[in-house]
Amino acid sequence: MALPAEHVRIQHEQTKTKQWRIKYMKNNAFRYACLVSALSLGVALFSIVIFISQTGFLVFKDVSWKEFFFSATWEPFEEKYGAAVFIAGTLYLTFLTLIMCTPIALAIAIFIAEMAPNWLKNIMRPMLDLLVGIPSIVYGFLGLTILIPFIRETTGTLVGDGFFAAALVLTMMVLPTVARISDDAICAVPQHLREAGYALGSTKLQVITRIVLPAARPGILTAIILGMTRAIGETMAVVMVIGNTAQFGWDLLTPTSVLTSNIVMQITNVQFDSTWNYALYMMAFLLLFISLVLIIIIRQLRPKGE
């Protein structure tokens, strides 16, 4: 017969063992739930890529790759599917947005991180976060109702739609994202690097341009590429201000079209098993491919282990 103290000890050990088993089962359940979630995400992404690519490549059964990529004639009712206008327009619009957005966003980030007092930082950072969350259609509506009439009155053009209006709207959309991520990258630079620069007699401008910005370069480049990725895939805001016409608009004020706007304007009017639909899916695959390339570049910019 066990002594009372021994009996209490045995019960205590049994309770601890039971608690350990319950904790072990919970940990395993949580681990498997995370694993299933990660695998489900991977399967979903892989399925999307496979579906879009397989459907898109069917266009080359009826259209040569040379015509699709290098012809500027998009006349689906005449069986002509040249997407060069939309591909070149997408790249051109992204380039314009990059030129407009980067200097302003970088200046805002430097001001917030290095120059603004704390009370102003506490106002500007939440404000930028709020701007990031505004739906794109709101920017497009403002561009359509305010920006387009202003461009007409200022330039004397009849329409006002085109690359210039689209680039301005996209700049307003991606600027908060680029500025906030750049701000975080600049703030992540160790303070002792700044103090070392000041100890050597450097001015604040020299410390920012020669020490802080080079140290924060990977994060800033990541911010810029993320902003451009959003600009490339943006649809509704661009549709509302670009004009949606299959022609080159290099003068910035001529209505034109890009991959996203052409897809959203025409995808509902075509049959699924038609060459027209396959051409639109190929455009979607090009957008997906460009985004994947940009993501790979971001991964390469990050130092190993960061």
Quick one: 142 and 226 in the same domain? yes
Question: Which is nearest to 237 in space by CA: 139, 130, 135?
Answer: 139
Do the beta carbons of residue 154 and residue 125 sit within 8 Å? no
Q: Is residue 19 part of a domain?
A: yes
Kindly report, residue by residue over 196-239, the tens digit of the pLDDT: 988 888 888 899 999 999 999 888 988 998 888 888 888 888 98
Distance from C-alpha of 96 to C-alpha of 241, rounded to nearest angstrom: 15
Q: Which residue has the tokens 């309770």?
A: 15
The amino acid present at 231, given as its one-letter code, is: A
Q: Do 123 and 50 share a structural domain? A: no
Domain co-membership, 45 together with 73 = no
| Residue 112 in domain | yes
Are residue 90 and residue 49 in the same domain, yes or no? no
Instruction: Indicate if the alpha-carbon torsion angle 89, 93, 94, 98 is positive or negative.
Output: positive
Inside any domain, residue 40? yes
Percent of the chain with pLDDT over 70: 93
Residue in the structure block whose two tokens are 């990660």: 38
* Residue 51, CA distances (Å) to 87, 278, 295 in order: 21, 11, 20
Per-residue pLDDT reduced to its tens digit, 70-100: 988 888 888 888 899 999 999 999 999 999 9
* Of residues 183 and 273, more confidently modeled: 183
Whether the CB-CB separation of 288 and 45 falls below 8 Å is answered with no
Residues 29 and 151 in one domain: no
Q: Distance between CA 52 and CA 171 in Å, rounded?
A: 29
DSSP per residue over 93-134, as a string? HHHHHHHHHHHHHHHHHHIIIIIS-HHHHHHHHHHHHHHHTS
Task: Give the mean model confidence (pLDDT) for residues 123-133.
Answer: 89
Find the mean pLDDT for residues 242-268.
87
Domain boundary among 38, 61, 84: 61
Largest CA distance in the chain: 104
In this predicted structure, the answer to whether residue 126 has a pLDDT above a threshold of 50 is yes
Q: What is the pLDDT of residues 264-278, one digit of tens each?
A: 888 888 888 889 999
Q: Looking at the predicted structure, is the pLDDT value of residue 305 above 60?
A: no
- Alpha carbons 299 and 294: distance in angstroms, whole number: 9
Q: How far apart are CA 25 and CA 18, in angstroms?
A: 11
27 vs 236: CA distance, rounded Å:
44
Long-range contacts of 115-124 (CB under 8 A, 24+ apart): none
Does the residue 15 lie in any domain? yes
C-alpha 10/C-alpha 235 separation (Å) is 68
Q: Is residue 156, in this structure, part of any structural domain at all?
A: yes
Residue 39 shares a structural domain with residue 182 = no
Does residue 303 register a pLDDT over 60? no
Among 44, 61, 78, where does a domain finish? 61
Residue 109 in any domain: the answer is yes
Residues 186 and 41 in one domain: no
Q: Are residues 57 and 70 in the same domain?
A: no
For residue 101, what pLDDT is reported? 93
**How many structural domains compose the chain?**
2
Give this prediction's pTM.
0.83
Collect all residues with Cβ–Cβ distance below 8 Å to 157 and sequence separation of at least 6.
151, 253
Q: Provide the residue range defining the domain that includes 77.
A: 65-301
Position of tokens 């994202």?
177
- Say whether both 42 and 101 belong to one domain: no
Residues 181 and 157 occupy one common structural domain? yes
pLDDT at 30: 85
Say if 306 falls within a structural domain.
no
Quick one: pLDDT at residue 231? 87
State how far the Cα of 58 lies from the Cα of 62, in Å rounded to an integer. Answer: 8
**99 in the same domain as 11:** no
CATH number at residue 255: 1.10.3720.10
Residue 243's SS3 state is strand
Residue 175's pLDDT band, with cuts at 50, 70 and 90, is very high
Within a domain: 31:
yes
What pLDDT does 270 receive? 85
Last residue of a domain, one of 21, 39, 61: 61
Q: How many CB atoms lie within 10 A of CB 28?
A: 10
Question: Do 84 and 185 sit in the same domain of this protein?
Answer: yes
